[in-house]
Amino acid sequence: MRKQNQQDELLKKNLATEFKTIKAMTKIYCQAHHGTFGNVCESCDSLIKHAHQKLDRCVYGDKKPACKACPIHCYRPEEKAKTQRIMRYAGPRMLFKHPILAIKHLIKAKKQFPDKIPHGLSNYHQRKKSK
């Protein structure tokens, strides 16, 4: 539990919100498909960790649009496929369970990716710089 909290604190603002959204969606999916309550199963937990690492390293940083139209394919194929399944299942359910997160995500989905891939914007870079 403690480890999870430390992980959460690495991401700030929009990235933290996005991570919260992914966690909430994975939980919805895991409960329905893997019969879990409260915590997610081991496999979903490792997916959440993968997502966390990718958010931390995302080159678009805190201003990133929604992942769906991203020109960079940063997820591993297996994680990508599973994430798409989770989004499809949990997406419509999010509006009822977590309306604020759902609306924030819909706004983000309207944002455009910049023409050029930025450098040094990732949360990871920012963290290294501030040390």
* Residue ranges in contact with Zn ion by CB under 5 A: 30, 34, 41, 44
44 or 51, CB closer to Zn ion?
44
User: Least Å distance between CB 9 and Zn ion?
Assistant: 24
User: Least Å distance between CB 44 and Zn ion?
Assistant: 3
| Measured CA distances, 21 to 119, 125, 127, 129 (Å) | 25, 23, 22, 27
34 or 127, CB closer to Zn ion?
34
Q: Which long-range contacts (CB under 8 A, 24 or more apart) does 78-82 make?
A: 79/47, 79/50, 79/51, 82/47
15 or 25, CB closer to Zn ion?
25
User: Least Å distance between CB 99 and Zn ion?
Assistant: 24
CA 24 to CA 59: how far, in whole Å?
Answer: 23
